[in-house]
Amino acid sequence: MRGRDWVQWHEDYADPSSALSQRLAAVQRQIRAYLDERPPGPVRLLSMCAGQGRDLLGVLTDHPRRHDVSGRLVELDPRLAADARASVVAAGLTGLEVREADAGESDSYAGATPADLVLACGVFGNITDLDIRQTIDFLPRLCAPGATVIWTRTREAPDLVPTVCDWFAASGFALRFLSDPSEPYGMGVHTLIDPPNPFASRKRLFTFVR
């Protein structure tokens, strides 16, 4: 099956009034707030299915904590990974790596864990409910103690956002922020309150079905 053209999908970002641009701004606000509140010291980041990395990189270009940050953006499409890499280089973010790899394979995160901030934006709307659950269950294996996860999921019916929140709770996370249901996107911010689990290699987390 031929998959979706993800380069074309990114074109909606050109319109600042699009729902996608509104979602991006909301995610960036949460990333900025996270970095603003983070105590001094290194911050390790992971982004699953990072695309062009607009969420993270849009914040890090001018954030005072930008040089405390290291981590990995995982993106399968070579053109989008190249865009993200070019933005990382242009912003002088020497601690960040863009890996062209399958974010649904746990091995793609090997050596980049435990992360303090994990982004799963534009993932949960493109995989099965079973894979969402499985991915959330795996997140404590990617996380440092007290890590934050920012995720998105469409509010289109059937709205799975409340269920996703329940799954985060069942996997040891507390809800910190949830976008208002009137917004044209769903976004949640969760913090790991249970102890993290050890990283596990060779695990399948999800497969895109779109």
Ligand X SMILES: C[S@@+](CC[C@H](N)C(=O)[O-])C[C@H]1O[C@@H](n2cnc3c(N)ncnc32)[C@H](O)[C@@H]1O
Nearer to ligand X, 104 or 114 (CB): 104
Contact 30, 56 (CB under 8 A): no
Q: Which is nearer to ligand X, 55 or 116 (CB)?
A: 55
Q: How far is the CB of 49 from ligand X (least distance, A)?
A: 3
Q: ∠ at Cα 175 (75, 182), nearest 5°?
A: 80
Q: CA 23, 10, 114, 37 torsion: positive or negative?
A: negative
Strand 143-153 relative to strand 186-192, pairing: antiparallel
Q: What is the total residue count of the chain?
A: 210
Which residue minimizes CB distance to ligand X?
122
| Angstrom distance (rounded) from CA 56 to CA 54 | 6
**Residue ranges in contact with ligand X by CB under 6 A:** 6, 9, 49-51, 54-55, 74-77, 80, 102-104, 121-122, 208
* Closer residue to ligand X in complex, CB, 34/172: 34
Minimum separation from the CB atom of position 53 to ligand X (A): 7
How far apart are CB 55 and ligand X at their closest, in Å? 6
Minimum distance from CB of 123 to ligand X (Å)? 7
Angle formed by the axes of helices 129-138 and 161-170, to 10°? 30
At closest approach, how far in Å is the CB of 43 from ligand X? 19
> In 3-state terms, what secondary structure has residue 189?
strand
Q: Which is nearer to ligand X, 105 or 166 (CB)?
A: 105
Q: Which is nearer to ligand X, 43 or 121 (CB)?
A: 121
Q: Is 185 helix (H, G, I), strand (E, B) or coil?
A: coil
Handedness of CA 177, 181, 183, 185 (dihedral sign): positive
End-to-end CA distance of the chain: 9
CB of 77 to ligand X, least distance (A): 4
Q: Return the number of the residue (74 or 112) whose C-beta is nearest ligand X.
A: 74
